Amino acid sequence: MRSRYLATVAVALLAGGLAACSSDDAATGDDAAAGGPIAVNASDTTCEVGVTDVNAGTVQFKITNKGGKVTEFYVYATGDRVMGEVENIAPGLSRELHVELPAGTYETACKPGMIGKGIRGPLKVNGSAAPLTEDAALKDATTSYQRYVKSQTDALLEKTQEFVDAVKAGDAEKAKALFPVARTYWERIEPVAEIFGDLDPKIDGREEVIEEGMPFTGFHAIERDLWQTGDISKSGPMADELMVNVKEIVAKATAEQLSPLQLANGAKELLDEVATGKITGEEDRYSHTDLWDFNANVEGSKAAIASLRPALEQRDAALVQQLDTEFANVETALTKHRNGDGWKFHNELSQADLKELSDVINALAEPISKVAAVVAG
Amino acid sequence: MTLAGVGVAGLAGAAAGASAVLAADSDPAAGPSAASGAVPFYGDHQAGIVTPAQDRLHFVAFDVITKDRDRLVTLLQDWTAAAARMTAGQDAGAIGAVNGIPEAPPDDTGEALDLPPAGLTLTIGFGATLFRDAAGTDRFGLAARRPEALSELPRFPGDALQPEISGGDLCVQACANDPQVAVHAIRNLARIGMGVVSVRWSQLGFGRTSSTSRDQVTPRNLFGFKDGTANLKAEDTALLDEHLWAQAGDGPSWMDGGSYVVSRKIRMIIETWDRTSLGEQETIVGRAKGSGAPLGQQGEFDEFDFSIKGSDGSPAIADVAHVKLAHPTQNGGARLLRRGYNFVDGSDGLGRLNAGLFFIAFQRDPRKAFVPIQLQLARHDVMNEYIRHVSSALFACPPGVRDAGDHWGRSLFS
């Protein structure tokens, strides 16, 4: 838990040569711009940000969750490019966020229930900011995405641990509720995970892709126990093994720096995941929680594109506009299937629903497939 | 694919590629000799209608998923450019399947590299739902331009239509003498259309079931009978104006020179048909299975004489025989240009082949052609015991694209 917000401190480093931040000075870090943390009072329906006009530099927020739902807090640049975020703030708790913000206009967002666009508000950052050169913009994409990966892996560790604990305690209902939530963080950064070829199938392998002689383990094996056989009395060792593997992959993933080209391809691959595994209901065949994964893949794709955004805007502004439109269309189509803070189950969707989702994903994937060439060009 | 006309070597030897290509159009009866050559894309009428029926089909219907009229028009322009290239034997895009930068997906999918044009034709049609969708919305400001002839077909007795493989806002018929060339064309058009259109359904056909030229041998359908003997043919120019091409004054002028296409997927219950005696099969069809001659007559192309009596004194061709019910004399002179294909879509899980006829017919006005003929057949045809109509669609195919400055749908959208 202590390491949670450290991730978000290692922000863009756009303006100056700030090194990625080390341990404890995060909580108390000198805040040149705002003179103390800005209080954010988050409830299930409101997101009150104490100050919305600040000077450029490191900005501190202290988010208090006064609602009944787990929430998240984000600072977004244009195109929902995440400048800083705190995930998974439980009711009653406070968290801090330190974020390096160059001059410009931003949006803050609380996400009660950790879903949707959240409750948005404006944030103005004063000062002068030199526009990035193209090369700097590309270099920044890597740093920006690494920041995203760090935030997701922290939440992944935490939620997977809760899931594993529930399985081992024999609490099937709790484990079932946590299954799609823990997977959300996994699915958002799957292209990074897939770099580590041997670990990915152990964590996320589906029954039919496991090679002869290799045991079926990981999320989907436990999913089968939870939903199909309904017997998790012997699932404990598998749950422990899942946790070990997740920890190992997180350690590797956070050390990995994805090149801008890898980011572009990752954004596309996430949509390919949706098109091949989630639309069909193959991914979560026992639990039918595919739409959680679907949404997480789209969010992950959007995050990768958002990291590239400043570079893309310089090179092909029309493409960025098209991506914005198509991402919005996907979100609109997906929102129809929201159920409370979660989603409908795959087997509750009609063929017409699935076709609509398939169409909007294809419509988005086509322009996304052009991003790599723009980045390389 | 490289150049138009490559692979026309089979053509009598003397003709060079380019002239052979032209021959395919100016002489519609060029037929099989042009099997691997290119069919001209530009012209007064769209290719793929009176063009001698190629051996292979890939037919696709699309739904338009954008609400943006400009994006739709841009797509029609992009499609036209790609269609002009592909029918000439070139890659779908200007860069090509293998000449682009390694980071970008190619603008052609590549499976037709090294293949000749194979007589590829691409024919577009507009469905009634493009003008006003199922909810009654005029999405693209076209409602006032819908021809009366493009009305929903009536329900015919016995129809077992599946909505998911029926209808559609747009269609493209790809015909070629190489199945890979036809599939390549549809695949690339679908790829180019991502985000603007979505494939609603598509159908492959593997053997033509009609001749559209006097030079072509009449082929057989999966019942084993010659089909399309009495078809409208390219050489019947006066009949074509009377029965095939929409004429000035028929409806909105954007359709002048166009034609209406009806598609019907007709599942044949071939297992029960195959257990039927030869005599009964011939009685049902009204033709001899071997020669194709009308029953009681000698040659395939003999004019039907329904007055001829059989040995038992009853008409040689029964009143409920398929050929009689479909004959122009029984339908106020109605004629069709049929261009259907056999299909076998694997099996149906009950130990039967999922096989039949993908019926395609072009006409000047379906209300005066397909509809009365099909009403007759649906009510009386004894063949109905062996067939099921499982999909249906009607599209208005506009006139031809005149030149590189023109595009599919220009007259409709301008």
Distance from CA of A261 to the nearest CA of B (A): 8
Average pLDDT, stretch A99-106? 87
User: Which residues of chain B neighbour A359 with C-beta distances below 8 Å?
Assistant: 65, 198
pLDDT of residue B3: 41
pLDDT at B190 over 50: yes
Is it the case that residue B191 has pLDDT exceeding 90?
yes
Residue B134 touches chain A, beta carbons under 8 Å: no
List, for residues A171-181, the tens digit of each pLDDT value: 999 999 999 99
Give contacts of B72 with chain A, Cβ < 8 Å.
none
Least confidently predicted of A57-71, B22-36, B201-215: B22-36
Given CB atoms, is A372 within the 8 Å cutoff of chain B?
Answer: yes
Can you tell me whether residue A322 is helix, strand or coil? helix
Alpha-carbon distance A362 to A365, whole Å?
A: 5
CA distances A324 to A69, A153, A313, A320, A368, Å, are 29, 26, 12, 6, 11
Residue A228, judged by CB atoms within 10 A of its CB (0-12, 13-18, 19+), counts as: exposed
Report the alpha-carbon distance of residue B224 to residue B215 in Å, rounded: 21
ipTM given for this complex: 0.80
> Which pLDDT tens digit goes with each residue over B256-313?
999 999 999 999 999 999 999 999 999 999 999 999 999 999 999 999 999 999 888 9
* pLDDT of A9: 33
Q: What burial letters (b/e) apply to B133-158, b meaning 16+ CB within 10 Å?
A: beeeeebbebeebbbebbeebeebee
- Name A99's bridge partners: A59
What DSSP string describes B164-185?
A: GGS--SEEEEEEESSHHHHHHH
Cα of B191 to nearest chain A Cα, Å: 8
> Coil, strand, or helix at residue B400?
coil
Greater confidence (A10 vs A162) lies with A162
Task: Kindly indicate the confidence band of residue B20, based on its pLDDT and cuts at 50, 70 and 90.
Answer: very low
Find the CB nearest A373 among B104, B191, B195.
Answer: B104
Helix (H, G, I), strand (E, B) or coil at B342: strand
Structure-model confidence comparison of residues A135 and B78, the more confident one: B78
**Which among B62, B63, B65, B109 is the top mutation candidate for probing chain A, defined by the most A β-carbons within 10 Å of its own β-carbon?**
B65
- In the chain, the amino acid numbered A57 is G
pLDDT of residue A83: 82
Task: Please tell me the predicted confidence (pLDDT) of residue A27.
Answer: 33
> Does the pLDDT at position B12 exceed 60?
no
Instruction: Give percent of chain B with pLDDT exceeding 90.
Output: 87
Identify whether the C-beta of residue B32 lies closer than 8 Å to the C-beta of residue B13. Answer: no
The pLDDT, as a whole number, for residue A1 is 32
Q: How far is the C-alpha of A119 from the C-alpha of A127, rounded, in Å?
A: 26
Going along A137-241, which residue ranges are E strands?
A: none
Enter the DSSP assignment of B318: -
Least confident of A32-46, A148-162, A342-356, B103-117: A32-46
Q: Is B22 in contact with B107 (CB distance < 8 Å)?
A: no
Give the containing element (helix H, strand E) for B63: strand B56-64
> What number is the average pLDDT over the span A86-94?
86
Note the pLDDT tens digit of each residue in A205-264. 888 877 777 889 999 999 999 999 999 999 999 999 999 999 999 998 888 888 898 899
Give the bridge partners for B287, in sequence order: B294
Number of H helices, E strands in chain B: 10, 10
| A310-329 residues touching B, CB cutoff 8 A | 326
The C-alpha atoms of residue A27 and residue A24 are separated, in whole angstroms, by: 6
Q: What percent of chain A has pLDDT over 90?
A: 60
Query: Distance between CA A190 and CA B119 in Å, rounded?
Result: 46
Put simply, whether A259 touches B (Cβ < 8 Å) is: no
Q: What is the mean pLDDT of chain B?
A: 91
d(CA B8, CA A369): 37
- Distance from C-alpha of B62 to C-alpha of B78, rounded to nearest angstrom: 16
Q: Which of A319, A325, A359, A360 to mutate to test the interface with B (most CBs of B within 10 A)?
A: A359
* pLDDT bracket for residue B13 (50, 70, 90): very low
8 A C-beta contact, residue A327 and residue A306: no
Mean pLDDT of A286-306: 96
Residues of chain B found within 8 Å of residue A261, distances taken between Cβ atoms: 103
* B299 inside 8 A of chain A by CB: no
CA-wise closest residue to B393 among B356, B360, B355 = B360
Averaged pLDDT, B216-237: 92
- pLDDT greater than 70 at residue A20: no
- Give the per-residue pLDDT at A347: 96
B313 inside 8 A of chain A by CB = no
In B244-338, beta strands by DSSP E: 259-268, 337-338
Output the pLDDT for position A35.
58
Q: What is the mean pLDDT of residues A191-210?
A: 82
- Closest chain B residue by Cα to residue A260: B103
Cα–Cα dist B246/B97, whole Å: 38
Complete DSSP assignment for A286-302: TT--HHHHHHHHHHHHH
CA-to-CA separations, A302 to A21, A107, A295, A308, A316, in angstroms, rounded: 26, 16, 10, 10, 17
| Arithmetic mean of pLDDT, B35-44 | 95
Name the pLDDT band for A21 (thresholds 50, 70, 90). very low
pLDDT tens digits for B126-154? 999 999 999 999 999 999 999 999 999 99
Q: Which has more pLDDT, A3 or A297?
A: A297
Cβ–Cβ gap B65/A377 under 8 Å = no
Find, in chain B, the residue whose alpha carbon is nearest to that of A322: B195
Spacing of C-alpha B384 from chain mean position = 22
3-state secondary structure of B355: strand
Distance CA B111, CA B290 (A): 39
pLDDT for residue A130: 65
Phi, psi (degrees; rounded to nearest 5) at B343: -140, 150
The answer to whether A242 touches A203, Cβ cutoff 8 Å, is yes
pLDDT at A18: 34
State whether residue A354 is helix, strand or coil: helix
Asked if the Cβ–Cβ distance from A364 to B195 is below 8 Å, we say yes
Segment A34-62 mean pLDDT: 89
Nearest CB to B103 within list A359, A366, A376: A376
pLDDT at B339 over 80: yes
User: What tokens were used for B370?
Assistant: 């397909």
Among A358, A367, A372, the residue with its CB nearest the CB of B104 is: A372
Contact between A94 and A56 (Cβ < 8 Å): no
* Interatomic CA distance for residues A302 and A137, integer angstroms: 17
What average pLDDT does range B368-382 have in this prediction? Answer: 95
What pLDDT band is residue A132 in, cutting at 50, 70 and 90? Answer: low
Task: Judge whether B401 and B408 are in contact, CB under 8 Å.
Answer: yes
User: How far B100 CA sits from the closest chain A CA (Å)?
Assistant: 10
The torsion angles phi and psi of A372, rounded to 5 degrees, stand at -55, -40
**In chain B, what is the straight-line distance between the N-terminal and C-terminal CA atoms, in Å?**
34
User: Residue A16: pLDDT above 80?
Assistant: no
CA–CA separation, B84 vs B82, rounded Å?
Answer: 5
pTM value is 0.82
- Assess whether pLDDT exceeds 80 at residue A197: no
Can you name the residues that pair with B268 across neighbouring β-strands? B355, B387
Q: What is the pLDDT of residue B34?
A: 59
With 70 as the cut, is the pLDDT of residue B1 above it? no
H or E element, residue B87: helix B69-87
pLDDT of residue B203: 98
Tokens 């939870």 correspond to A226
- Rounded to an integer, the average pLDDT of A136-164 is 91
pLDDT in the model for residue A86? 83
- For residue A268, give the chain B residue with the closest CA: B105
